[in-house]
Amino acid sequence: MRNTAHAVIGANYGDEGKGLMTDYHVAPAGREGIVARINGGAQAGHTVTTPDGVRHVFSHVGSGALAGAATFLSRHFVCHPLLFAREVDALRSAGVPALPTVYVDDRAAVSTLYDILVNQVAERHRGNRRHGSCGMGFGETIARNLDPEFALTAADLRHGAGYLLHRLAAIRDGYVPRRLAALGIPAVDAQAAGWLASDASLQQFAHAAMQFHRATRQARPAILADHATVVFEGAQGLLLDQDRGAFPYVTRSHTGVRNALDVAAEAGIAALDVTYVTRAYLTRHGAGPLAGELPDKPYAGIEDRTNVPNEFQGTLRFAHLDLDLLARTIRTDFADALACPGIAARLDLSVSCLDQVGDAVSYFENGTLRTASPGALVDRLAGRINAGIVYTAWGPTRDTVRIRPR
């Protein structure tokens, strides 16, 4: 292995083009490459379109799989057996018959059906004070795993279905009522109560978890050293970080470079090129503040097949980029990498969706709305953050990515 790895980090609220840049970085290595998921879980939706037209939205599998790259689900990732099975099916119908190897750190948390249930009940209970959750139980899984009595990790799946059924029943009967009470939810409706009581769903989930266990291989970060190219794929964006975003409209993980540094250190990686990714405009899918929110999409060329409206997140929302906010956000996050002993970090930038904005793109700087050519916007931003390599993406596929001369 080269001792250098890439990290791909979303700079905003997600949907920046992380799938595209992950695919771009790992594709030259093909089967020799590996993509490590370092935060979040299957609620991610990273779209990759190959130059020959295969399109897939990655959620549980690393975004390098279409290029043949393996996946490493690190201990900061939350596994979701039901959604993993669904993604494997989707990949198969997209024309990927044999999934490249998926490695799982045995310390990674495992989501259950009951985390989804509590999440959805709680988000409905909040009514119009929603947190912008995807409704997949990601945050609930993290909360539950803080309690050793009810924690479930990939290592637990090694013990077989009997043990798992026992643990799940304990979560259902011991944890869920307590958690609902703590969230101030006195009673669930008849439908949710029925789902909760169903032995069939318990059985089906345990079965999916065992299938997940059989479809994956347990490993530690050292496995990364066996690969020619390593890409750490971040999920969500810096503005949704649990510590740095605007609570409570955040995700329950570190969305920046922090987890990548942690896994890289465990893997013995000495240098990290961090690609911060943004679109040429700002988007947010889900509840929470969005400064300067526009009534509609700002450019006629914007097309988004991934962010379809849903009950929990509503429709995709838009604003212009604010270079001051963006530069501050990126520099704050990158400071973690600079402060990390033993790892040499470089700050790179990627701006995507440049093909959608036409000849003139609007953005805020020093509180003023300005207009410039797409190239000038990229140069301005790169200058503000003193970027090393600057990538520009002019379409959905890796062959539209260019390195901008500086």
Q: Which of residues 287-326 bind another protein (CB under 8 A)?
A: 306-307, 310-313
> Site for another protein (CB under 8 A): which residue of 28, 95, 160, 342?
160
- In the sheet with 361-365, reading across from the earlier edge strand, the strands are 321-322, 361-365, 368-372
Q: Is 138 in the site for another protein (CB under 8 A)?
A: no
Tokens linked to 23: 């695919």
Span from 39-47, 290-298, 356-364, 371-379 in contact with another protein (CB under 8 A): 39-47
Q: Given CA atoms 18, 24, 27, 29 in this order, what sign does their dihedral have?
A: negative
* 3-state helix, strand and coil shares in percent for the chain, rounded to the nearest 5: 40, 20, 40
CA distance 147 to 151: 6
For another protein, what does the binding mask look like between residues 204 and 233, x meaning CB under 8 A? xxxx--x-----------------------
CA distance 221 to 177: 36
Span from 44-52, 179-187, 323-331, 338-346 in contact with another protein (CB under 8 A): 44-52
Q: Is 86 in the site for another protein (CB under 8 A)?
A: yes
Q: Is 136 in the site for another protein (CB under 8 A)?
A: yes
CA distance 403 to 406: 9
Cα–Cα separations (whole angstroms), residue 281 to 16, 292, 294, 349: 9, 12, 11, 15
> Site for another protein (CB under 8 A): which residue of 20, 116, 142, 330?
116
Smallest separation (angstroms) from another protein to the CB of 133:
10
Smallest separation (angstroms) from another protein to the CB of 319:
17
Residue whose token pair is 């250098």: 4
Span from 100-108, 112-120, 271-279, 319-327 in contact with another protein (CB under 8 A): 112-120
Q: Is 331 in the site for another protein (CB under 8 A)?
A: no
Helix locations, 146-228, DSSP H: 161-170, 176-182, 190-197, 199-215
> Site for another protein (CB under 8 A): which residue of 101, 153, 201, 400?
201
The number of residues that bind another protein (CB under 8 A) is 56
Residue 386 gets the label, from left (phi > 0), alpha (psi -120 to 50) or beta, of: left
Q: Is 249 in the site for another protein (CB under 8 A)?
A: no
Cβ(132)–Cβ(288) under 8 Å? yes
Question: Using CB under 8 A as the criterion, which residues of the chain lie in contact with another protein when the complex forms?
Answer: 14-15, 42-47, 57-60, 82-83, 86-87, 113, 116, 120, 134-137, 158-163, 165-166, 169, 191, 194-195, 198-207, 210, 235-236, 285-286, 306-307, 310-313
